[in-house]
């Protein structure tokens, strides 16, 4: 459980933290402290580790070499050097670093694994990690170099180096600070590996899990915005509410479709802009024969099938959320030092990150599908041949001289094309580590790919929101608009704080990026 401590804004960590609170810790808006029960569990695991060492038992990574060198025994006197060399040889990550927030999420994920009480890290070491999260800093951790096999050895080794006073920390604005200086400002001494904390800190799926936590929270916001944007577009286009009738979800009871149906109906509540009359309410005159009506009796799929599309994505995202919640509170080390084992230590493969990899790939696929759904909405509402009554590309100026959202519509297509280029990471297992790691998860790559897709997804969604707001404003200026729902009104206000009404052409790239960032940080829920 988790509970608020006396200090307002501080969360007392025992075994569990919600994904929302985890994201708040990562972004620096919530402090954390260690519950006494969590400290006791860490003490117990450390004591079991020490007992195994005192009995000179064979413990991987503590009395043996690493990977395929596990058949080389190491004497007790060389333990500290073994731990230091573990960190040194693993700190081979390259490329740009994880973002400030992502790096902090990784630190939190490692803390949550350690406080379960089977990893063997000292409580004092866990407290150092907490102190980092309660500061303005994040360790500088290269993103590339892990295949998610024995967990995330490489990025976690770079975190250990930072705790030892090597490398750099980052401030929120990306400023690099020498690790020794950052530790002094945090108020903690450099980490001492003489107690064999190295293995406990570098083992496990914490990098992929930390990124997955942030992905899960962002996807929840994305789905909220999908409902709001689709509802506003339905109002702008005079859509038919019949297709969103709750009877469809009752007869096809996928949880996501039921939730999407309920939320979409809530979004358009109170509007006078949608058409409520069912198609079957029309009556053919006797002997009427074949005639052509001015308008089709059903909307295009990008409106009509919104409950089914958004709902299917919601179910995929829910699976990712459940997997992430479980992984965040799991022990993913090797070896483990559980209280109920028949041995003082157990060797196995909890570090295999395939759960996170498969869930991330599934979510990335779902997010790409939803991006395509919004891209088609954008294409439809900006095409004067498809949408009667609106100017080409929703131009607010002199059509021909002004091109409206033409460029933004092309950008949405380009972003979608880029999202579709990246496939699943989890299917690309590759043998490494002298064939010791002959099956790997690619979980961290999968989580990173999902994060990158979400960046582009929110840009597409921002363009869709701008298009919806522009269409609603055009209708209002022409005096043809019926009363809007509360959701559509809120969406338009939200968009207009970043992107004013487009009367004459102007560069929109900066507005799209800013609005996408704002949408990723704050849901619009009615």
CA distance between the termini of the chain: 29
Token duo for residue 297: 């009796």
- The C-alpha R_g of the chain, in whole angstroms, comes to 27
State yes or no: is 501 an active-site residue.
Answer: no
Token duo for residue 98: 């994880």
Which residues are CB-neighbours of 458 under 8 A, at least 6 positions away?
Answer: 218, 222, 516, 517, 519, 520
Residue 503: count other Cβ atoms within 10 Å of its Cβ. 13
Indicate the helix (H) or strand (E) that contains 378.
helix 354-381
Rounded distance, CA 436 to CA 149, Å?
10
In the structure, how many helices (H) and strands (E) does the chain have? 18, 8
Q: What Cα–Cα distance (Å) separates residue 339 from each residue in 43, 61, 346?
A: 12, 20, 11
Residue 366: which of 261, 457, 255 has the closest Cα? 457
- Catalytic residue, from 60, 88, 301, 390: name it: 60
**CA atoms in the 13 A half-sphere facing the CB of 85:** 11
Is 217 buried (19+), middle (13-18) or exposed (0-12) by CB count in 10 A? buried
DSSP-assigned beta bridge partners for residue 97: 142
Judged by phi (left if over 0) then psi (alpha if -120 to 50, else beta), residue 13 lies in: beta
Catalytic residues: 60
């Amino acid at each position: 459980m988790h509970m608020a401590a006396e200090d307002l804004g501080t969360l007392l960590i025992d075994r569990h933290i919600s994904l929302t609170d985890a994201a708040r810790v990562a972004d620096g808006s919530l402090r954390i402290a260690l519950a006494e029960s969590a400290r006791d569990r860490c003490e117990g695991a450390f004591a079991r580790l020490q007992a195994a060492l005192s009995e000179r038992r064979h413990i991987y990574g503590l009395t043996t070499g690493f990977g395929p060198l596990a058949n080389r025994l190491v004497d007790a006197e060389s333990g500290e050097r073994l731990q230091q060399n573990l960190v040194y040889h693993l700190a081979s990550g390259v490329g740009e670093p994880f973002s400030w927030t992502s790096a902090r999420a990784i630190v939190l994920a490692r803390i949550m694994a350690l406080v379960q009480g089977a990893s063997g890290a000292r409580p004092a070491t866990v407290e150092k990690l907490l102190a980092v999260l309660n500061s303005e800093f994040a360790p500088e951790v290269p993103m590339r170099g892990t295949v998610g096999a024995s967990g995330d050895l490489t990025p976690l080794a770079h975190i250990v180096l930072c705790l030892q006073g090597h490398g750099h920390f980052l401030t929120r604005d990306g400023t690099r600070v020498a690790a020794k200086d950052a530790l002094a400002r945090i108020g903690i001494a450099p980490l001492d590996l003489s107690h064999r904390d190295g293995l406990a800190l570098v083992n496990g799926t914490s990098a992929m899990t930390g990124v997955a936590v942030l992905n899960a929270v962002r996807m929840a916001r994305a789905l909220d915005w999908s409902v709001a944007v689709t509802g506003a577009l339905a109002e702008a286009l005079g859509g038919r509410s019949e297709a969103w009738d709750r009877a469809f979800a009752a007869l096809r009871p996928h949880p996501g479709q039921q939730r999407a149906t309920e939320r979409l109906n809530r979004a358009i509540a109170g509007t006078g802009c949608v058409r409520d009359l069912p198609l079957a309410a029309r009556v053919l005159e006797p002997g009427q024969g074949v005639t052509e009506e001015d308008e089709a009796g059903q909307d295009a799929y990008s409106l009509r099938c919104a409950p089914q599309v958004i709902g299917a994505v919601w179910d995929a995202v829910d699976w990712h959320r459940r997997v992430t919640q479980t992984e965040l509170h799991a022990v993913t080390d090797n070896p483990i030092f559980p209280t109920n084992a028949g041995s003082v230590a157990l060797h196995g493969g909890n570090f295999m990150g395939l759960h996170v990899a498969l869930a991330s790939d599934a979510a990335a696929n779902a997010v790409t599908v939803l991006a395509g759904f919004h891209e088609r909405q954008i294409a439809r509402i900006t095409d004067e041949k498809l949408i009667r009554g609106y100017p080409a590309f929703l131009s607010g100026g002199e059509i021909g001289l002004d091109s409206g959202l033409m460029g933004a519509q092309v950008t949405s297509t380009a972003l979608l094309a880029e999202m579709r280029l990246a496939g699943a990471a989890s299917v690309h297992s590759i043998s490494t580590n002298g064939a010791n790691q002959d099956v790997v998860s690619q979980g961290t790559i999968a989580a990173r790919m999902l994060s990158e897709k979400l960046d582009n997804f929110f840009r597409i969604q921002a363009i869709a929101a701008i298009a919806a707001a522009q269409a609603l404003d055009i209708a209002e200026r022409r005096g043809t608009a019926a009363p809007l729902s509360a959701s559509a009104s809120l969406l338009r206000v939200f968009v207009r704080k970043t992107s004013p009404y487009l009367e004459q052409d102007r560069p929109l790239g900066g507005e799209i990026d800013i609005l996408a960032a704002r949408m990723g940080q704050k849901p619009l829920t009615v």
